[in-house]
Structures are given as C-alpha cells and as structure tokens.
Structure 1
Amino acid sequence: METENIAVTLDQYKKRPKKKKKNKFLSNAKGFAKQGIYGRGTRIDDDQYNYFINILDAMKNGFEDAEEKVTMANNVLEQTIDQEVHLASNQIVCKVLETLIGFVNAANLERYFTAFADNFRPICSDRFASHVLQKMVEIAFLRALGKNKLRNDVNREKNTAGSKDEPLVKRAKTDGKTISEELYNLETEFNEEHRYNCSQFVLRVSKFLLNNLEDFVWDSCASHIMRTSILSLAGVHVAKGAFEKRGADMAKNQKLYTVPEEWVEVLKEFPQRLEMWPQFSDFPYQEHSSALLGVICISLRATNKQLLKHFGKKILMDSFLKVEQNEDEKEKKIEILDDNDETTENLVAEAAGREGEKIEKASRTNIRLPQVFEYQSAVILLETLLTVAGPKLFTQLYAMLFAGRIALLAREQLTNFLVQKLLLNIKEKDDFENVFTELFNNIEDLLKIGHTGVVEALTAACLRLGTKQAQCIVALQTSLHTPASDKQKAKSFFYCLTKLKPYEVAQNDNSGFVHLHGSLIVQHILNFNKPIFLVNCILETPAEQLVPIFNTPNGSHIVDAFLQSKYIGEKSREKFIRYMEGFYVDLAITKFGSRVVDSCYAAAQESLKARIVKELADKVNMLKGSPFGNLLYSKFRIETYKLSATQWMASLHVNKKQKVDKLFKDIIN
C-alpha cells in the first residue's frame, strides 16, 4: 500500500473541521504508534496503521450524507484487497471495518464473503476478526431480505433503526452512527444475484457453526457470531445497543422479518442438538451458553412456538429445578407431559405445593434454593423465558419456580428483577391473585430496602388485569403509614406516594424530589376503576406543594394521567384545573411545568382556557423571558388575547368547528 494513494483517498475527508472533544481511544492508539505498537492482534506496518488511524479520525467528524459514507467505505475496503482476514484481525482495522462494512457496494462485500469463508474456524475465535464476521452476517441478513420482508404484525420498538418515513440522514451534529445502517441496507436497491449471495452467506456461516457446536458454544468470540446467526435465521433483527442488554430487554427491542423456510429448518437444529448434550443442564449457569439459550428462545417465539414450549420445558426440568443437596436428599425428577391432560395439571399443582413447603423450610434452615436463583446468567435466561413463554409454559414456570417463594425472591438483590418480570408478563388472574397474596404484607419491607420496582410492577399488574385494585391501595396506605382511619395522615397519601417514603419521613422532606416508581404508581392508581380516594388526596394537597412536584420530569406525567384517565369525572378535572390557578405562570416558565400547563389547557373547557390564558397574559414579561413560556405564548396566541379577548374566544369556536367538520368529514361525504 503506497503512502501517496493513502493521501489521495483521505484528502476529501480531512477538509471539515474536527470536533474539539478528544477521542481517548484514538489518542491512546497514536501514543502506542510512537512506541512501535500498532494495535493489538495481527501486526501491520506503520503506513497501514497510520492510514486506518486517519480513517478513524475522519469518521469522528461524521458524514454529511449516506453517499459520503458509502464512498469512504468502498475506498477503505479497496485498500484491503488480498489482506482481508489479516487486516481484520488487527484491533484498529477491525474497528474501522465493523463501522464501514455495512455501507460498501456488492462487489466489496462479496469479496469479503469469499475471503472469510475460507477461514471461518480461526476467524470465529479471533477477538477482532470475529466482530467483523458478526457484522457481515447482520448486513447479509438485511440485504438478503430487504424492507419488503418486514412483518407488519409485530409491534416494533420506536427507538430501533428508524421508521419507514425516517430520513437516512440527520444533518445536525452528526457522527458516523447517525446514518442508519439498517435503513441503508434495507432501502438500497441491490440486484437479485447479490441478495442470493447474501442469503447463502447467512446459511453458510450458520451451518458451519451448527456443525462445530462443540467447539464454539463456550467460545466468547464465536458465541456472539452464533447468536447473531440464530437471530438472523429466525428473521429477528436486534440493534447492537439492544443486543448488549439483558435477554428480556433484547426480546422487546427487535424487528421481525419473513425468512425463507430453509433458514427456519437450519434454526430448528440448534435447540434439537443442544438438548441432547449431557452438559445441557449446566448451560444456564455459564455466561455464553446461557445467552445462547436465551437467543434460541427468542428466535423460536418468532418461528415455532410449539418447539419453544418443548425447549422451555427441557430447560425448566433439567436445569432450573436443580438443587445442590446431599445424595440422600436428591429430589425425584418431575416429568411434565406435552399434552394437555389432567395428569399434567395435577403434577404442576403438586409441584407447586411441594415448592411452597420447601421455601418455608428453606427460610428457617437455610437450605439452598434451586440454582437458577443463585447465578446471574441463569436469572437472565429465566427472565427471557418469562418474556417469550406461552400461557401453558408460563404457568408451569410460575408454579414450579415461584409459587410460595415470591416474597423471599422479591427481597433478594439478584432475583427481585425476576419478580418484576413475572408481574409484567403474568396473564392469568388466579396466578396473579396468588402472587398478590404473597406480596401484600411485604410492601413496606420492599420499600425500606429500596426494591420499589417490585411494588410498581405489582400496581401495574393490578391495573392491567383489573383485579385487587382496592386491596393494593390499602396495602400502600398501610405501608406508608397513611391509613384511611386517620384522616389527617390519609390526606398525605399522595405526597408520600410521590416520594415513596412513610408519613413520618415525608413530612420533613421539603425537596422537589419525585421518585420515578412513586410517580408511576400514582399514574397506575389514577387509571384504576375507582381512583376517587387518590383524586381527593391530590385536590386536598396545598397547591404550593403540588407545583414543585409537577415541575419535575417524573411528576409532570402525573397530570397527564389525572386529566386523561377515563375513570376520573369531568367535574374532578375541572376542579383540578381551577385548583392550579395562580400557579400557571410559575409552571409555564419551566421545562416540565410548561408540559403541565399545556395538558391543562388541552383538557379545559373554553371558559377555563380563557382563565388560563388571562393569567399568563397578566405576566407576559415573565412568560416571554423563558424559552418554554415563549412557546406557550405563541401556541396559546396570547398576543391575540391581549389585543382582543372577544376575537380570541371567537377563534376558539372556529377551531372547534373545524375539528368537528374534520371528524365527521367521511360521514358527511
């Protein structure tokens, strides 16, 4: 590689000014270069090293558009001809290739397909080249399918690669990641031959990994490639940020695509082979094998729910129920049949009863619980399984692992998230009522030790399933020392909830702090079938005490729930809007308070809208002195109101009539 060519290739990317923020990785890399250390991994010469350092430097400034990034990507990959694997195994080059390979043309990508296909075994275990191969599988998956294969029957996360109408380029303060790699590969027109080659590459990598499972299941580098391949075979695409989260979070942050039947057939072989291994029962207790099982479960939910049920039972029976005991104390293996006969139900009920008895004994004699609750990797896998399981498998997981031990698990640092996940996904009212009974008397203890997420999840489940709502409010009142029998303390229920502190502590807390889970609990209760007690508490709280609460990011959403709940009457909403009069200016000039004013205005009747605007117009200088107040000044047309209140009111009637006409336009036509 000649230095002159390097200069020509980079010239167009060095014109834009660099960001002032220093890149620690880059500065360290440049420092090591002066010592003759050219990155970890394979050794490259100083010209090549400097070239890729300069590329990283140029990428740091971002790109004006997708075309510029495509040009750079193709130029860079042309500098690696006949050295693809060697260069990809270097730390610096790997970082460049992983970022740019998603934007190269068909010829350059297929050249890498060929070069890597001849060296799969060493590449899969290489700590740098493996990242490039993983990215190649992801890009091949996207190009093989295209945007037409995106399934419309799945709710997709808003924050993944982008929506259909999202532009490829966001020009404001760009960096290299701003241009959506997923969107580019889905929407760019590639010929059928290239799409076929991409499809074959996904299959080729997947079959290689399948045939070498014994070598790669516990390999930290190959495991990531295998997981990406399995998700691809199922038509599941997960953004890299979401891919690095816990398994259950990854199950939510995904998009589903329709894949060829041939891919699905290869996918089925992964769980079928793994469950025959004698080491299968140990898989959940090791990081990489546990993550692999989680990815398989997510993939099976998208392709084969019957196989997921079978595979989930296998994990439950062979692994999750294991308890380390003496030889004479080993429990008998419980078999769950696949059919829906009474024997299965009886076995589940019997197991639940035994587990309930064991947990009481465990709390007294410190007998170890099933291993699944003692290892983080197994807990994450169980969270994933709770998220993807169908009704029958979910009930079996609950009955055999959770029944009788919910309160204990909710108190433990490692397992309280499991209880939250259980509550988030539980669908049967009977099962939930049993869970509620176990937690009912433990809410105060959970608040004391800081496991507020469990209490929030319990309240959310009461709302979602429409049961135990009154009991939930009573339990919270008791836990916060604001019983209904004591009218003075009961009035502070709302204030104590927002801080999740008992009455005695909350009374001395004059800060504006609003607990996130406390705010969510309030919002859930406001949407209960009978939220009147909490509504009265809010309306009896001094307005000057409400303003600091509503001026916070967590507290401002309480107003949305109050004004939008279908179980809160019109009179209560009007009373609330009137109650806040005199404080609208204080709210309007703050970031989150302005949201509250906007919500109140939107929910108010015309006469109340006029009162809000009049209050703001009386202190227009304060309003216009704040960027947030200035927005409301324009939105509410306060200038028009100051000129003529009558004209402003008339415009409200016009706007209302236009909305009605638009609403009934189709019927009228």
Structure 2
Amino acid sequence: MGEENQSYKRGRKKKVLDRKAKKESFSDGPKKGEKSWKHHNASEPQTSVVRKQVDPELVKYFSEIANLFESNEVELEERSVLCRNALEETRGKEFELATDYIISHTLQMLLEGCDVDHLCGFLRGCAEVFPAVAMDRSGSHVAETALKSLTMHLQDEQAYSVVEETLRMICKVIVENPVDVMCNCYGSHVLRSLLCVCKGVPLDSSVFHRAKPSTILAERLNFNAPRSDRNNTPNSHTAFPDLLMSLISGMLRCSKNDIKTLQTDQYSSLVLQACFHLITALKLLTGHDQELLKIIPILLGCSKENVGEGHLIEMTVVRDVLELMKETAYSHLMEVILEVAPESLYNEMFTKVYKNSLFELSTHHCGNFVIQALISHARNQDQMVLIWEELGAKFRELLEMGRSGVVAALIAACQRLHTHEHKILFLILLCCQALSAAVCSTNESPRCIVPRILFLESYFSCGDKLNWNWPNRVKMQVIGSLILQTVFRFQSELIQPYISSITSMEADHVFETAKDAGGGRVIEAFLGSNASGKQKHRLVVKLRGHFGELSMHSSGSFTVESCFTAGSLSLREAIASELLAVQTELSKTKQGPYLLRKLDIDGFAARPDQWKLRQSSKQSTYKEFYATFGSSETNSSKKDTFVADSSKHALNSKDIKTMRKEIDHSLGFATPSMSLSGSKRHPEKEDQRSEKYTKHETGDDVSKGKTMKLKKKKDQIFSEKVGASSKGAENATKPFLSADKTEKKRHRKDKPSKSSKKSKA
C-alpha cells in the first residue's frame, strides 16, 4: 500500500508539472475579445467587469497545486517549474482567478514563488482590469502579494526595467479614474502598496500610515522627534521617483472634478494622507515644494491654476473649507496639509482661512484637532501672537468644553519657539497666567493649581468647584500631566505659582502623584527644571519613606532616580537606605538591576563612608563644572544639584554629555550604556568598582585629575568657539536637561495613553 501511495503522489506531481499551456505568450496580452475594465468618470454610469465562471478543469488543476504546496512534496526546482506552468494557465483569466475566494489563495503562493518575468507577465495580463482586481475582497490580496513580490525581485538590478514597465502600465490605468479605487475599502490598501513600491519603502512602512493619535499629540507637545525626522526611512528597494510623482499628480488631476467626494470619504482620506506622508519625504529633495503648491490648492477646492504667492487660495472656497474641517475625514486630511505645506502656502492659509475663526473651530469636536495642528506648525512669533489674541482669553471655556488639547498645543508652541526674545517670553508668561486663572480664582490659594490640572476632567465636571477636593482612586488625566510637563520647561521666573503649588502639596498627595505614570513625569519635569535646589528639596523630602515602594514600579523607578539626582547628600543616603531594604525584591524586577547599579547600592552596603565621600565629590564636581561653563544668570539658583535651565550656556548638549561621562568615569560611576531592561554591564566597567577608590584617591588625586580635565576641556571648547557664527552660538544654548536625559538612555517614550486618542464622531 505504501508503494502504491508513493506511486500515486509521483504521478499526480508529474501530471501537474507536465501540464502544457495552450494559450499565446504573455507578451500578447489578454485574449482578444476579453471584456476589460471600462473606465468612467464618477458622473457617468459605472460599467462593471463581468466575472466569468472558472472552468471546472482549471479549478481541479489549481486544487491539485494547492494540495502539493500543503503536502510539502515539491522541491525548490520543481516549485519554480510548477509556478511557471500554473501562471501560464492564468492568461486571459487573471480577473476570474484572482477574484475567486479559493483559487486566489493558491494564486498568492504562486506569485510569491515565481520568477520576475512570469510575475510581471501576470500583472501585465491583468493591467487593464487591475482596478477591478484591487477592489475585490479576494483580488486585493492577490494584487498586494504581487506588488510585494516585485519589491523582492528589485534586489536584482537587471529586473529594474521590466518592473518599471509593468508598474507604468498599472499606474497609467489607475490615474485614468482613481476615484473608485481611492474610495473602495480594499482598493485603498492596494493603492497605498503601489505608492510604497514607487517610493522604495516597505509596504508596511509607517511613512504611509497615519500615526496613532497619542503619537501625534506627543509630537505636538514637543515630547517626540518631528515626524519628518522619524519618517526619514532608508529605502528597502529601488525607487521609481518619476512614476511616483506622475502617479500622485495624475491621481489628483483626474480627481479634480470629484474633489468633494474625496474630501469627505473616509477611505479616500486615508489614501490622500498616504500621499502627503509621501510628499513629506520628498520635501527633503530639492524643488518638490512646487508640487505641493499645485496639489494642496486642488484639495482645498480651488479651480484656478497657481498664479503666484499670495494668490494660491481663492476666497470663494474659504467658507466651504471651514465647514469641511468639521467633517471627520477632511479634518484628518487638513492636519496633514498643515504639516507639509510650504511656508508661503501655510502663511496664506493662516491669513485667509483660519484668522478670526480659531475659537469657533476650537470648540468643534473635529475642528479642534485642526487648530491643534495649526498651532503646532506655526512658523513665527507674529502668528503665535495672533493665535493668542483669539484664544488667550478663552482658556477656561476651552477647558470646560474638554478642548484641553488646544490649550496644551498653544503652551507647547510657545516652548518650541522660545528664543529668549521679549515677545515670546511675554507670551509664555501670559499663557501660564491664563492657565492658572482658568483653574484657580483670584481669591484662592495657588496651591490648588497643580492638583486641579492633574485632574482636569474631575475638576471641571464638579458642580461645586470651590469645594473640589483631591479625588481618591482616580487616574490622573494624561493631557493635564503633559501640560504641566511643558510648563516646567519654562524659566522658573515665569512659573512661580506652579512651583509654589507643587512644593506645597501634601505628602500623601505627592506620593500618589509619584505612583501615577503621568504624575511621576510631572515630578520628574519639576526636578529637572531650573527651580532652586531648596524648592526641589521641599518636594523630595515628602517622599521619604516611600522610595522603596516607588522603585518597585517601572514608572516610579524613574522618579526615584530623579529624586536621587536632585537631592542633597543626606537625601541620597536616605534613598539608598530605603532601596537597600528592598534590594532582593527590586533586583527581580525589570528596572531594578539598572537602578541598583545607577545608585551604587552595593557600594553603599559594603562601604557607606566611601560611598558618601564619592557622592560628595561627584556633587562638588558638578558644581564646579556648572560654575565654569554655566551662565552667570543661573548659577545662583543651582545650590544642590547639577541641572539645566532654559538660559544660554557656553556648551552644547554633546559637549555636556562628554563631560558628564568624564566626571562619572573619574569618580568610579561609569554610566551603564543600557536601558532599564537589565542588560549586562560591559566587562571593562566591572573593574570600576567603588571599593577601588580610597579616601585619599577620591579626595585628592581624583579631584586634581578632574580639575585638569575641566580646564583642558574649557580651553579646547573656547578655541573651537572663536569665530563661530551667531547662529551657531544660538544653537549651543540647548538646555543641559536634554543632555542629561539623553545620557540615561531611557527606553521610555513620552507618549500619552490611549485615553487621549482622538474621539471624532
């Protein structure tokens, strides 16, 4: 029976492999007379492709192929022959086979395993009906598989020309009538894949997909790198820039008469955003702003050709655009337009479309997200002043209506444009005053400001706001914590009410704040601000007795580390003692090993006197470094810690990072180059154990060594700075805090949680 079974399998395989193609070659195209895809304008009656019944013999043939693939009986060479023969059988029947629910799965396997000639032959054979294939539930998977397989073959330079010609045929058919494909739930995905292939990036690249609302919010509040930097993804295969540009411009040109459909259709919005993400990447190339200047007015509904700067947008479309921004899909599209628009076009949109309508749009559940994007991409201080004039007096109303994102975006934009000029500094002060006035009346104590912002929703939903109290077991609102993090980036002189509020909080409330993921980041932001050491000490001491418990939480461990950095020597000793008490349990957590090494708890347990001496020497070294390189304006505020402020400094962040490494290295505290995941320390750093330093070495030789290094570094930097341009000097004024956080190499991203996601109707 076994021999008969093997004989049967060999016969079946031979039958499939030996099957001959009976049709003409692929180069002849589809069978003459075959009904093909009929293109039409959206205003014309639609002509559908008639799907013919698949021949039963062909169904049986593809069923046998599927069984062979599933049985893993086909060798690599036989598989190639099998794919070639099977694809030859699809000539003239590509549409019927690709849209068949069962056969389409087999067809996908064949397209993944065939050579480039037969792959391109299949696509050329179905090029005329490609839109119909793409818009079918089963056919869309076949189309995406074929496009993905094309990218695999582009590793071979000889395949470039045949792939380019194939893509050109498909693009030509798409641009003749793209609206149906763009508005179809299956076709839109295929079109995005086609854009990815032309761009030369992976088909699942985030460049062509809308970022999560939490990611967008983090970018707007300056907690993430700009999207333009993140999307600068290297190509995974050869790109087709000419095809890409002709595809995009052709799609929009042919869709001009149907722009109203595109503006409100949820699927077309996704595709258009993919186009704009793609254009954002192309902006890095020279001369592509001109393409944006042509495309964006079309999307706004303008009918006239580009007539020059200041006349790109027709006044007749302004009212329609304002109404469309209240639609879900178009508001998403408008956010992308504001992100990628060239400066001249952005300025014209700001003046003609948005001016005098900011508050009206800010109160709308969709329009407020567009205003957030507008504020986040403001180009200059004058625009910020105009935005403030319309929204500055409306902070309380916006917060009451749940539009806190607009307020947060305005405060963050001030921080982003902060250039120490009087106009922006005054605007920051006004924003901070307006925010505090929105949550605290003039006859109330400022101590309520921070708690109420942490619980914005709870406070504004309370009927009796004057008697509002700290809620128990209520999660702190993400947007409130993000606002406070931004506020504590400003100079301490501008935010005294906030500093007074957070330092006057009750001890149990400080502890609850530290346990909350968002609240803990607020405390870290305050400890990283340029508030005085005495003010930071007032807050940190309220956490005494809780550091061990906090360190057991992944988010709390960051707060413990910040408290240790900002604390005095006695506070550092108290923190080390509390961590030593929970060392066994803490070492079993994900973040524990890093924190124990960072604070040198083993060294504290073994030789506490030397540990204190090293901490004292490290702190005095930071003070000396800051006194040498810091600005005279802020030295007075740095009493116990080495932290940064927003004033001008003589060093840039790279210099500071290098100097901090040298200081830590000289004192036996080589900062581990690892994340909180508990990676192993490098062998060479294991030798830098704390017990290697005697009191004499720490207090004398090390002190001399680090003083010489500081002097040498200062002389070197001074010589490099001579002759630097004023612009370069301005770039060198980045806050020390940025460098300090970079040094920690923490793998935590400042992204809001899902609770801040965009809730559009």
Q: Which TM-score tier does this pair reach, normalised by the shorter chain?
A: 0.5 to 0.7
Change (3 A) 1:651 1:264: same
CA contact (8 A) 2:276 2:340 kept: yes
Change (3 A) 1:247 1:390: farther
Among candidates 248, 256, 263, match of residue 284 of structure 1: 263
2:150 aligned with 1:140? yes
- The residue that corresponds to 1:499 in the other structure is 455
CA contact (8 A) 1:231 1:295 kept: no
Among candidates 358, 373, 377, match of residue 329 of structure 2: 377
Q: Which amino acid aligns with 1:120?
A: A
- The residue that corresponds to 1:441 in the other structure is 393
Q: Which amino acid aligns with 2:126?
A: N
Among candidates 543, 559, 568, match of residue 523 of structure 2: 559
Change (3 A) 1:295 1:643: closer
How far did 1:374 drift? Answer: 4.1
Change (3 A) 1:487 1:206: same
Deviations 1:23-72 (A, max 9, x none): xxxxxxxxxxxxxxxxx9998969977997999999xxxxxxxxxxx99x
Change (3 A) 1:87 1:75: farther
CA contact (8 A) 1:140 1:199 kept: no
CA contact (8 A) 1:513 1:549 kept: no
2:520 aligned with 1:542? no
- The residue that corresponds to 1:513 in the other structure is 475
| Structure 2 SS opposite 1:318 | coil
Among candidates 190, 194, 201, match of residue 225 of structure 1: 190
Q: Which amino acid aligns with 1:548?
A: E
- The residue that corresponds to 1:118 in the other structure is 125
| Structure 2 SS opposite 1:507 | coil
2:430 aligned with 1:471? yes
Normalising by structure 1, report the TM-score.
0.67
Q: Within 5 A, what are the aligned runs for 1:425-440? A: 425-440=377-392
| Structure 2 SS opposite 1:125 | helix
2:201 aligned with 1:239? no
Q: Distance in 1 between matches of 2:81 and 2:533?
A: 65
How far did 1:316 drift? Answer: 2.6
Q: Distance in 1 between matches of 2:103 and 2:117?
A: 19
Change (3 A) 1:612 1:94: farther
The two structures, once aligned, show a CA RMSD in angstroms of 4.7
Among candidates 305, 308, 313, match of residue 338 of structure 1: 308
How far did 1:240 drift? Answer: 5.8
How far did 1:516 drift? Answer: 0.6
How far did 1:75 drift? Answer: 11
How far did 1:613 drift? Answer: 0.5
Identity %: 18
2:228 aligned with 1:255? no
Q: Within 5 A, what are the aligned runs for 1:270-309? A: 270=250, 273-274=253-254, 277-280=256-259, 282-301=261-280, 302=282, 304-309=288-293
Larger radius of gyration, structure 1 or 2?
Answer: 2
How far did 1:130 drift? Answer: 2.4
Q: Distance in 2 between matches of 1:492 and 1:74?
A: 73
CA contact (8 A) 2:603 2:611 kept: yes
Q: Distance in 2 between matches of 1:593 and 1:216?
A: 50
CA contact (8 A) 1:543 1:580 kept: yes
Among candidates 150, 166, 171, match of residue 206 of structure 1: 171
2:603 aligned with 1:640? yes
2:491 aligned with 1:529? yes
| Structure 2 SS opposite 1:582 | coil
Q: Distance in 2 between matches of 1:76 and 1:385?
A: 48
Q: Decide which moves more: 226-235 or 626-635.
A: 626-635
Q: Within 5 A, what are the aligned runs for 1:320-335? A: none
| Structure 1 SS opposite 2:498 | helix
Q: Which amino acid aligns with 2:159?
A: H
Deviations 1:376-425 (A, max 9, x none): 23222212211111111112222232221211211212222111211222
| Structure 2 SS opposite 1:541 | coil
CA contact (8 A) 1:526 1:562 kept: yes
How far did 1:525 drift? Answer: 0.2
- The residue that corresponds to 2:294 in the other structure is 310
CA contact (8 A) 1:140 1:198 kept: yes
| Structure 2 SS opposite 1:380 | helix
- The residue that corresponds to 1:174 in the other structure is none
5+ residue gaps, structure 2, are 1-6, 14-50, 217-226, 419-423, 619-663, 672-704, 717-761
2:231 aligned with 1:266? no
Deviations 1:177-207 (A, max 9, x none): xxxxxxxxxxxxx332234444444334223
CA contact (8 A) 1:124 1:130 kept: no
- The residue that corresponds to 1:89 in the other structure is 99
Q: Which amino acid aligns with 2:443?
A: D
Q: Distance in 2 between matches of 1:639 and 1:214?
A: 67
CA contact (8 A) 2:338 2:346 kept: yes
Change (3 A) 1:510 1:270: same
- The residue that corresponds to 2:368 in the other structure is 416
How far did 1:520 drift? Answer: 0.4
Change (3 A) 1:52 1:497: farther
Deviations 1:559-596 (A, max 9, x none): 3322333x434444455444432321221122321221
2:546 aligned with 1:568? no
Q: Which amino acid aligns with 2:147?
A: V
Q: Which amino acid aligns with 2:513?
A: I
Q: Within 5 A, what are the aligned runs for 1:152-231? A: 190-213=155-178, 216=181, 218-231=183-196
Q: Within 5 A, what are the aligned runs for 1:569-588? A: 569-588=532-551
| Structure 2 SS opposite 1:478 | helix
How far did 1:495 drift? Answer: 0.8
CA contact (8 A) 2:179 2:258 kept: no
| Structure 1 SS opposite 2:300 | helix
Equivalenced residues, count: 541
Q: Which amino acid aligns with 1:311?
A: I
| Structure 1 SS opposite 2:545 | coil
- The residue that corresponds to 2:554 in the other structure is 591
Change (3 A) 1:220 1:109: farther
Q: Distance in 1 between matches of 2:125 and 2:523?
A: 62
| Structure 2 SS opposite 1:310 | helix
Q: Which amino acid aligns with 1:431?
A: Q
- The residue that corresponds to 1:486 in the other structure is 443
Change (3 A) 1:638 1:74: farther
Change (3 A) 1:204 1:493: same
Deviations 1:448-496 (A, max 9, x none): 332322222222122212332222222222221x13x4353x1011111
2:424 aligned with 1:454? no
Deviations 1:357-378 (A, max 9, x none): x8xxxxxxxxx98441343232
Change (3 A) 1:118 1:455: same
Q: Distance in 1 between matches of 2:429 and 2:71?
A: 60
Deviations 1:147-189 (A, max 9, x none): xxxxxxxxxxxxxxxxxxxxxxxxxxxxxxxxxxxxxxxxxxx
1 or 2 for the larger relative contact order (CA 8 Å, sep ≥6)?
A: 2
Q: Which amino acid aligns with 1:613?
A: A
CA contact (8 A) 2:263 2:330 kept: yes
Q: Distance in 2 between matches of 1:574 and 1:415?
A: 43
Q: Distance in 1 between matches of 2:351 and 2:498?
A: 34
CA contact (8 A) 1:623 1:629 kept: yes
How far did 1:541 drift? Answer: 0.7
| Structure 1 SS opposite 2:302 | helix
How far did 1:650 drift? Answer: 6.0
| Structure 2 SS opposite 1:419 | helix
Among candidates 129, 132, 150, match of residue 139 of structure 2: 129
| Structure 2 SS opposite 1:255 | coil
